[in-house]
Structure 1
């Protein structure tokens, strides 16, 4: 294509089909002179450089998806998204931070701008998400969790994935064991909680306090049924030895009148059958742990002092 003929293509962004993001080399392959590219990327021009060797065919800010496209375009053939950027392509959360990209160990491409390059000897098969190659969701969530700086952020991330049914704890554990040990401490801690059926940060805090209490075994998020196998409730924590239920009451949950009514009905159903119920709020788990442990022990003593009601739990299903 002779110099200048690229203009006959009309909407160049539509022609290249990459969200308006393209490598300089591809533009040159379309017949765009390097001097033209430089001129159009000058201040006030219609294009701009977003990464080394990568141009956006517009001047506005990149959307999160355009950033992801630009990252993969920059990293070159065989690269794929991972971490939170990939999770966003799976419909899990939003992402506006650095874009994590996997490349094979032999590649020399470097991190640049908002792109974090991670070389790996375990390149997975890419999953196409509307035209963007992404690592499988188990790899993506663990790559994201390895970059978390607190256990709470790792816990929220992994618990969200598990609760959505997007990945099972077993699959995540397998992926973690097969992958790099670098940065694996936090996801390993969280997966131990999730495998114990702990679903949220307050429940994880509750589990920690129960472990300090010296009380008998507690299970989490199991169905409690009556003598006729009719469902009663699914308390956050349950000590089956004495039929003691532990409920972690979230203020946000109670902002909904319907949810508050459901909480009251569930608690009434348990208490009407003789189940002892302890209610705690997330703030006290963090701010007054000794008081919570004392409450837990006191309610255990109360539950131990009366005949155990005829209720039972369904076995915890392995996932």
Structure 2
């Protein structure tokens, strides 16, 4: 689809364009209309049905949603039809301006999700829009409609705030990923989708894991297997950004990926980077969400390790993949400050740093 597509919006109550002009319009908003919108042009149900007879100039894409030409609908026309069917906007709704943001009223709290949403986000691991038989649309649980034709309704107790992609309301990437994975049965395919979500910078691993947990998908062994791969992918990317930060911003070289021990042999845990002469350690929080969801056990253990190191006089700097991705310069400043202020702190215990 063209990323310059005009944002979709219902016709205004004042619109009175002739139907012939609408069917020939390049604006998809004028070619795909609900019956309520057609009535604004003086076309009732019997007339609309007559126009959709075999060989007629129109076609009915979904209950109450009409395409004002006889040819194969485009992907954009199908997407709009699904949103109109699921959203049921009023015929007299105020048009959404082209510059409207995510808070603008449109489609009555529904949004594209699943494979169609991933296609709109540009995922190469997801089927293209033209190959999709069904388009998933996220709706409130109370919406009294059923899935039909190319529209599959996915009900939710609480709807996320949609993103605007080519003017369409689309579920956030993590939610769209979870809805797409719900229909996948092979770990390899799931891994491809999850990896692209993280490697493409669409979202952090922890956000995806949380969404998969809320969707109940972590009860499926092939999804758990894929998540393990995802977390490893997320750690690899975060470690790469940490190396880049140290070298690009002229920080002194630490020892990497070491296990800290007291001289007597007691293990204190592992850190991602350690400056022995400054008693400063950096730890990447890449599994935060997973640890929190694991009855808090993993999270509590991580906190105990950090507190123990800090009691020994070690300054522990906690960095997340998101911080490294979005503000590498700020994180470099945090680490540099910890290194520069080492002399002002009480002497730390001497620790052994062994390869992980």
User: Normalising by the residue count of structure 2, what TM-score does the alignment of the two structures yield?
Assistant: 0.52
Instruction: Find the counterpart in structure 2 of residue 65 from structure 1.
Output: 76
8 A contact 1:9–1:15 mirrored in 2: no
**Which residue, out of 49, 63, 77, partners 2:60?**
49
Instruction: Find the counterpart in structure 2 of residue 115 from structure 1.
Output: 151
Change (3 A) 1:61 1:19: farther
8 A contact 2:114–2:178 mirrored in 1: yes
Instruction: Find the counterpart in structure 2 of residue 40 from structure 1.
Output: 51
Instruction: Find the counterpart in structure 2 of residue 140 from structure 1.
Output: 176
Structure 1 unaligned blocks of 5 or more: 200-218, 224-228, 231-239, 242-316
* Superposed counterparts of 1:209-224, under 5 Å: none
8 A contact 1:104–1:121 mirrored in 2: yes
8 A contact 1:16–1:22 mirrored in 2: no
Query: Does 2:46 align with 1:11?
Result: no
SS of 2:148's partner is coil
Query: Does 2:215 align with 1:180?
Result: yes
8 A contact 1:101–1:118 mirrored in 2: yes
Cα distance in 2 for residues equivalent to 1:119 and 1:107: 8
Instruction: Find the counterpart in structure 2 of residue 190 from structure 1.
Output: 226
Cα distance in 2 for residues equivalent to 1:6 and 1:34: 18
8 A contact 2:161–2:172 mirrored in 1: yes
Q: Displacement of 1:60 after TM fit?
A: 1.5
Change (3 A) 1:220 1:52: closer
8 A contact 1:125–1:136 mirrored in 2: yes
SS of 1:26's partner is helix
| Per-residue CA distance 1:237-290 (angstroms, 9 max, x = gap) | xxx99xxxxxxxxxxxxxxxxxxxxxxxxxxxxxxxxxxxxxxxxxxxxxxxxx
Matched residue pairs, number?
Answer: 212
8 A contact 1:176–1:184 mirrored in 2: no
Q: Displacement of 1:29 after TM fit?
A: 2.6
SS of 2:202's partner is coil
Instruction: Find the counterpart in structure 2 of residue 166 from structure 1.
Output: 202
Instruction: Find the counterpart in structure 2 of residue 91 from structure 1.
Output: 122
Change (3 A) 1:183 1:84: farther
8 A contact 1:124–1:135 mirrored in 2: yes
Structure 2 unaligned blocks of 5 or more: 1-14, 88-107, 241-245, 248-256, 259-318, 322-356
**Which residue, out of 94, 100, 106, partners 2:136?**
100
8 A contact 1:19–1:69 mirrored in 2: no
Change (3 A) 1:138 1:44: same
8 A contact 2:177–2:193 mirrored in 1: yes
Instruction: Find the counterpart in structure 1 of residue 193 from structure 2.
Output: 157
* Superposed counterparts of 1:192-271, under 5 Å: 192-197=228-233
CA RMSD of aligned residues (A): 3.6
Q: Displacement of 1:19 after TM fit?
A: 6.3
8 A contact 1:105–1:120 mirrored in 2: yes
Deviates more, 1:63-72 or 1:116-125: 63-72
Change (3 A) 1:152 1:108: same
**With CA pairs under 8 Å and 6+ residues apart, which has the higher RCO, 1 or 2?**
2
SS of 1:106's partner is coil
Change (3 A) 1:19 1:184: farther
Cα distance in 2 for residues equivalent to 1:184 and 1:122: 21
